[in-house]
Amino acid sequence: MRLAAALPPRAMLAIEGDLGAGKTTFVKKLAAAVGIDPSDVTSPTFTLVHVHEVPPGAVGSQQPSRLVHIDAYRLTGIDDLATIGWEEILAGEGWLAVEWPERIAAALPDERLGIQIEITGISSRRLHLEATCPALHQAAMAAAAGSG
């Protein structure tokens, strides 16, 4: 996955899309790209947060230390974030992938990569990437360069 190879070791990904669009599948691909067993990545709809440690030496020097996967679908708003340790998660290292980020939009960090997954067919999707900082813009451009 070109995006994973281009992401800095600390990045926030806000992943949007309809039910069944492939948000968790996207996170599985991201995990696999850094050496995490994709079968260990499941939707955190009921547990809300899954933390996956990246195996040492799995990828190059830009590897994240961990992948934190959050499903905000069941959250009613930013007041619920204290129950999942949001401040500690944000302060931590690694990649943070949030499904249904619109549910907690006011609490999202300013520097993030928005990923909109659009269903274009039974087995096809289109990704729309929007970066809010230079490092993530470079990662998005690197991913887009390989999508031709």
Say what the pTM is.
0.90
Extended beta strands in the chain, E state: 11-17, 49-53, 66-71, 95-99, 113-121, 124-131
**Alpha carbons 19 and 23: distance in angstroms, whole number:** 8
What pLDDT tens digit does each residue of the chain (148 aa) get?
789 988 999 999 999 999 989 999 999 999 999 999 999 998 877 788 999 999 876 655 577 889 999 999 988 888 999 989 999 999 999 999 999 999 999 999 999 999 999 999 999 999 999 999 998 999 899 888 865 4
Name all domains of the chain by residue range, CATH numbers in brackets: 2-145 (3.40.50.300)
Q: Write down the pLDDT at residue 76.
A: 86
Report CA Rg, the chain. 14
